[in-house]
Structure 1
Amino acid sequence: MHDWAAPIIAAALFAFLSPGMVFQMPGKNRPFEFMSMKTNVASIFVHTVIYGLLLILLLVVLNIHLYV
């Protein structure tokens, strides 16, 4: 059996946490912007850190598995 949790969770988090796609933190004009479709270096760094922490939390700490 193959464990599909890692690629599914990673792809979903990547899509959701792309800066400017759903939200951007920090934004260009405000600390938190929705659907801005713009990005900057600070928001890329913040989203990368959040992505990594959530991925570690879900895959390593909570040990989520999905067998299909």
Structure 2
Amino acid sequence: MFNWGSVVVTVMLFVLLTPGLLFQVPGRSRCIEFGNFQTSAAAIVLHSLLYFALVCLFLIAIKLHFYLG
């Protein structure tokens, strides 16, 4: 049995939190921009911190596991 929880959580969060793909915080002209496909250094840092915090929350605090047999 393999634990697929970490793989699923990290891939989903990576896709959802890629700056400029779905949303970007901070945006270039507004606080939040949606689907602009552009990024900045501040957005990369903020999205990286959000990614790290959510991965820690799901994998360490909640102990999310998926087992496929």
Aligned residues: 68
State the distance in 1 between where 2:19 and 2:33 align. Answer: 10
Residue 41 of structure 2 is matched in structure 1 by 41
State the distance in 2 between where 1:55 and 1:23 align. Answer: 18
Q: Within 5 A, what are the aligned runs for 1:1-68?
A: 1-68=1-68
* Larger strand fraction of residues: 2
Deviation, structure 1 residue 42: 0.0
Q: Where in structure 1 are there 5+ consecutive unaligned residues?
A: none
Aligned-residue identity in percent: 35
Counterpart residue identity of residue 59, structure 2: L
Per-residue deviation, residues 15-52 of structure 1 (Å, max 9, x unmatched): 00000000000000001000010000000000000000
Runs ≥4 in structure 1, deviation > 6 angstroms? none
Q: Where in structure 2 are there 5+ consecutive unaligned residues?
A: none
Q: Secondary structure at the match of 2:37?
A: coil
